[in-house]
Amino acid sequence: MGWKLVPHPTLTFNHNILFLVSFNFHLTHKPVYYFVMNSNQQNIILKAKAIIFDMDGVLCDSEPFILEAAMWMFETSYNTKVVAEDFLPFVGAGEDRYLGGVAEKYGITLDLKADKASVYARYLTVIKGRLQSMNGVKEFIALCRQHKLKLAVATSADLIKMEGNLQEIGLPRETFDTCVNGLDITNKKPDPEIFLTAAARLNLPATDCIVIEDAPNGIQAAKAAGARCLGLTSSFSETELKATGADWIAKDLSTNT
């Protein structure tokens, strides 16, 4: 599954392939862009003025590293060995819930401020030289910029993690028109606040935006905001992403997959 530029009016489709399509209006000579997918012999076309990226699982795969740091914190601070599966229900919900949900399962009362600081300190160390952008991300962003689409990041992660990730993968926050982190909002995903905030900062309604997400919480938030959503199968299965409302599914943002 991949991405292509297809000039109007010669649109050609293959089943289960997602396209970014560039249209030129002959009267205005102004470009308008569409995502198109052929699914069950139906073409879904949506005008898009902006792309809003989730960060973890979309721009980079930081989940193994935050998991490593969180498991280390529980063991060193609470002498409790938690397992990776404990964290799955809380992926994409922000670090407060990511840590807090697991703590609840084990009957642990966190010192959230201190424990998050411990996790982040460990995390920023373990990602050095290891965290990379996901397949096709930089090329896709360049393509969007070439066609003057607005770009935003909307992540439930705290500012320190967002900035650490973006810097490490070579896409500093200045790459985007706006970046919204978990400290900017009150209600975390699956509440739509984060995507409504990102759209507002872009001076657009959410209905003019396409959200790229990898987690059910994020997809639910995008749909509740009124946006269309591309689900990437980097963290959850196609079945799980479709069940929560993803409009399209792709493996990643590469043109070669």
Q: How far is CA 256 from CA 12, 36, 66, 91, in A?
A: 17, 17, 28, 27
User: What pLDDT shows up at residue 93?
Assistant: 74
35-75 pLDDT tens trace: 544 433 233 344 689 999 999 999 999 889 999 999 999 99
Residue with tokens 């396409």: 210
Q: State the pairing for strand pair 228-232/50-53.
A: unpaired
Average pLDDT, the chain: 84
CA separation for the pair 134, 249 (Å, rounded): 16
Is the predicted pLDDT of residue 28 greater than 80, yes or no? no
Is the predicted pLDDT of residue 3 greater than 90, yes or no? no
Is the predicted pLDDT of residue 1 greater than 80, yes or no? no
Q: How far is CA 46 from CA 16, 179, 207, 224, 225, in A?
A: 16, 24, 10, 17, 16
The candidate with the shortest Cα–Cα distance to 212, out of 230, 194, 196, 224, is 230
**Mean pLDDT value of segment 134-150:** 90
- Residue bearing the bigger pLDDT, 106 or 92: 106
25: tokens are 């209006």
Does 54 qualify as catalytic in the annotation? yes
Does 115 qualify as catalytic in the annotation? no
User: What pLDDT shows up at residue 120?
Assistant: 94
User: What pLDDT shows up at residue 255?
Assistant: 58
* Collapsed DSSP state (helix, strand, coil) of residue 168: helix
Is the predicted pLDDT of residue 32 greater than 50, yes or no? no
CA separation for the pair 115, 235 (Å, rounded): 25
CA separation for the pair 84, 102 (Å, rounded): 10
CA separation for the pair 28, 83 (Å, rounded): 57
At the fourth CATH level, the homologous superfamily of domain 49-61+134-250 is HAD superfamily/HAD-like (3.40.50.1000)
Is the predicted pLDDT of residue 224 greater than 90, yes or no? yes
- Residue bearing the bigger pLDDT, 33 or 6: 33
139: tokens are 């090329």
CA separation for the pair 214, 229 (Å, rounded): 10
Residue in 56, 158, 214, 252 annotated catalytic: 56
User: What pLDDT shows up at residue 157?
Assistant: 87
What's the distance, CA 223 to chain centroid?
Answer: 14
Q: Which of 5-9, 107-111, 192-196 has the lowest mean pLDDT?
A: 5-9
Which residue ranges make up each domain of the chain?
5-46, 49-61+134-250, 63-126
For residue 165, give every residue at least 6 positions away whose Cβ sits within 8 Å of its Cβ, in sequence order, or none: 55, 56, 59, 60, 62, 127, 131, 157
Share of the chain above pLDDT 90, in %: 67
- Residue bearing the bigger pLDDT, 167 or 18: 167
204-220 pLDDT tens trace: 999 999 999 999 999 99
Is the predicted pLDDT of residue 203 greater than 50, yes or no? yes
The candidate with the shortest Cα–Cα distance to 200, out of 229, 227, 161, is 227
